[in-house]
Amino acid sequence: MSKEILVTGGAGFIGSHVTRLLLDQGFGVTVVDNLSHGNKESLDPRTKFEQVDLLDQEGLEKVLPGHDAVIHMASLIEVGESVERPIEFTQNNIVGTVSLLEAMKNTNVKKIIFSSSACVYGVPKKLPIMEDAPLGEQENPYGITKVTMEQFCMFYHRRNNFDVTILRYFNPYGPGELHQPETHAIPNFIRAALNKNPLPLFWKGEQIRDFIYIDDLVSAHILPLNLGGLHIFNVGTEVGVKVTDVIRKISEILGYEVEIEDKGERKGDVPSLVASSEKIKKELGWEAKIDLDEGLKRTIDFYRHHPSST
């Protein structure tokens, strides 16, 4: 009998890809999403869908029974917005996560895979970043919420014997990224380039990032479904790329140069983030397979064929 997985935030960019992969691999999937930022159109038709807010613990307790695990991806993610609206981010991300964990406890669903972020490391002391690196001082409420959400998951592991896997994403990108507003570099660069508008560039593009293609990222969510205990894994390519090199690659694929709009500095940006993925390779056999050139080609192709998204 196939396992039943509940995916919170499954109508979002990463959540919809995770849902599709689970379904393709024979899992039953229920998506819980309040549709404040997700798109119902992104959902695979094979999915069971429940429009429930994380803060609605009673609603969650009606949906959870019969599920073997939860993949928790529902959170507000826009860093700038978090500075403007810290109360909303705290309620949605932190209180919503505790509401979910309580609902899981009350319905005896005790396995969770949590979608975290490399931002928890703050400004790293050394690269590549290992999972045992100290968590850094946070520059914005979004980062604070991710650290706190991790801590609550760990608390429920210790207090209620939950099986917990925390996945710290580096910089995901790929087809289907349709955030409104969009703040991530690659979709913004591609949309601007296709429309021959100036590319918005912070810090003159000197930041170094570990860009991971969506298909590689989502595959890391399936493997921990058989794990017991507490595990923390980085999910990155181990390759640091300067943002200006991403722009150069996009120009090469498109066959023309695009003007740059110098946006100056942006508070809260870390100069360099590169993962060590040694642990997830060793313990789960996972590794990134799609390099940046191929990933950018696929992503550009998506936006070319979805003109409304540009």
Q: Tell me the catalytic residues.
A: 142
Q: What is the CA radius of gyration of the chain?
A: 19
Asked if 159 and 225 count as a contact pair (C-beta separation under 8 A), the reply is no
Asked if 96 and 34 count as a contact pair (C-beta separation under 8 A), the reply is no
The partner residues of 28 in beta bridges, in order of sequence, read: 4
Asked if 140 and 83 count as a contact pair (C-beta separation under 8 A), the reply is yes
Strand 171-173 to 199-201 pairing: unpaired
Give the three-class secondary structure for 46: coil
Q: Which helix (H) or strand (E) holds 173?
A: strand 171-173
Contacts of 84 (CB under 8 A, 6+ apart): none
Six-digit token string for 106: 């009350």
The partner residues of 231 in beta bridges, in order of sequence, read: 165
Distance, CA of 82 to CA of 257 (rounded, Å)? 34
Asked if 12 and 33 count as a contact pair (C-beta separation under 8 A), the reply is yes
Neighbours of 302 (CB within 10 A): 17
Residue with tokens 């409104």: 180
